[in-house]
């Protein structure tokens, strides 16, 4: 990938796309193109085709998606399935038609069966039932993986798929209802501290285990794979380490400086019991994460204070 190559980052205003864009720029890539959702609706096939025909990108990072936590996924089921299918279908087909040299599609660890053996190996895809709360989102992401595979099979397109674990970091979504678990905890503990609340209630039992990767590490991994991975099979991106939601809540509580109590609500859904990625394939290619969860949380909380809190004042 030449430093002057024309690179399109779809979803550059999101946490992942923003991290990829920053990493590309700091690495000396100086011909990055991007469009906000108001400038280019990726759900609209003709708009996407017009964009590709005009800009002719050589490389594509497909990080654009409709995303959210358990509540959002379970509430807006049709939206999550339809919009993600449209986004990935339009971009992948246009990338093929307008002769993009290489495309990297970002999926999600929720593509794996709910009760798959741990840690999650790439070959576990489509071996069992999905977690019900985020099934529509997972089905859309699986369709994206298969689109990349079949365009490679039928036409020889150099399209690869990567499956990140749970992510957090700069520019995260801290919406009180529609965010993922880690940014949601940051907001709730911060607000509890500010309002001197005696306790914070956490959904579920606190026993499910989750793995978390700092968004800047993910960006580095994506660019590494764009440069070094050419295979049809999807590849996991994660840390290979996990912790329980209770342990996560304790760590966020400590990071934020909240002194109250933790209360767990077992009437709320836990989601998948465990989602730990097997990253031996990625590590074998020569890449490993380097930001610890404790270090990344401090950076994320600082970002929350500088962006979300200030924006609401």
Residue 273 is assigned to a ligand binding site: no
Residue 11 is assigned to a ligand binding site: yes
Residue 240 is assigned to a ligand binding site: no
Residue 167 is assigned to a ligand binding site: yes
Phi, psi of 265 (to 5 degrees): -110, 95
Catalytic entry in 29, 59, 137, 174: 137
Residue 107 is assigned to a ligand binding site: yes
Q: Is 155 in the active site? A: no
Residue 190 is assigned to a ligand binding site: no
Compute the C-alpha angle 51/64/222, nearest 5°: 105
Core vs surface per residue 257-293: b (16+ CB within 10 A) or e: ebeeeeebeeeeebbbebbbbbbebbeeeebebebeb
Count of Cβ atoms closer than 10 Å to residue 109 Cβ: 23
Residue 161 is assigned to a ligand binding site: no
Residue 185 is assigned to a ligand binding site: no
Residue 188 is assigned to a ligand binding site: yes
Residue 130 is assigned to a ligand binding site: no
Provide the annotated binding site for NADP(+).
Answer: 11-17, 106-109, 141, 164-167, 180
The annotated binding site for substrate is made up of 188, 203, 210, 270
Active-site residues, by number, are 137
Return binding residues: 11-17, 106-109, 141, 164-167, 180, 188, 203, 210, 270
């Amino acid at each position: 990938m030449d430093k002057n190559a024309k690179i399109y980052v779809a979803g550059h205003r999101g946490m992942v796309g923003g991290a990829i864009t920053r990493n590309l720029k700091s690495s000396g890539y100086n011909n990055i193109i991007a469009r906000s959702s108001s400038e280019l609706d990726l759900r609209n096939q003709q708009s996407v085709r017009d964009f590709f025909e005009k800009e002719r990108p050589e490389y594509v990072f497909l990080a654009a998606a409709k995303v959210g936590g358990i509540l959002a996924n379970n509430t807006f089921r049709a939206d999550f399935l339809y919009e993600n299918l449209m986004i990935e279908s339009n971009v992948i087909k246009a990338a093929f038609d307008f002769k993009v040299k290489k495309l990297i599609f970002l999926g999600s660890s929720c593509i794996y069966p709910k009760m798959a053996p741990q840690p999650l190996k790439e070959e576990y895809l489509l071996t069992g039932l999905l977690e019900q709360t985020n099934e529509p989102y997972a089905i859309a992401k699986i369709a994206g993986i298969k689109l990349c595979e079949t365009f490679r099979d039928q036409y020889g397109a150099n399209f690869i798929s990567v499956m990140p674990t749970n992510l957090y970091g700069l520019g995260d979504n801290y919406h009180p209802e529609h965010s993922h678990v880690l940014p949601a905890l940051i907001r709730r503990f911060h607000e509890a501290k500010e309002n001197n609340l005696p306790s914070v209630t956490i959904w579920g039992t606190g026993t499910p285990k989750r793995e978390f990767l700092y968004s800047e590490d993910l960006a580095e991994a994506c660019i590494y794979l764009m440069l070094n991975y050419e295979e049809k099979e999807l590849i996991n991106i994660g840390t290979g380490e996990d912790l329980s939601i209770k342990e996560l809540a304790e760590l966020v509580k400590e990071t934020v400086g909240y002194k109250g109590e933790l209360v767990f609500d077992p009437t709320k859904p836990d989601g998948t019991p465990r989602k730990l990625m097997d990253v031996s394939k990625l590590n074998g290619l020569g890449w490993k994460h380097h930001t610890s969860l404790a270090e990344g949380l401090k950076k994320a909380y600082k970002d929350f204070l500088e962006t979300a809190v200030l924006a609401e004042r």
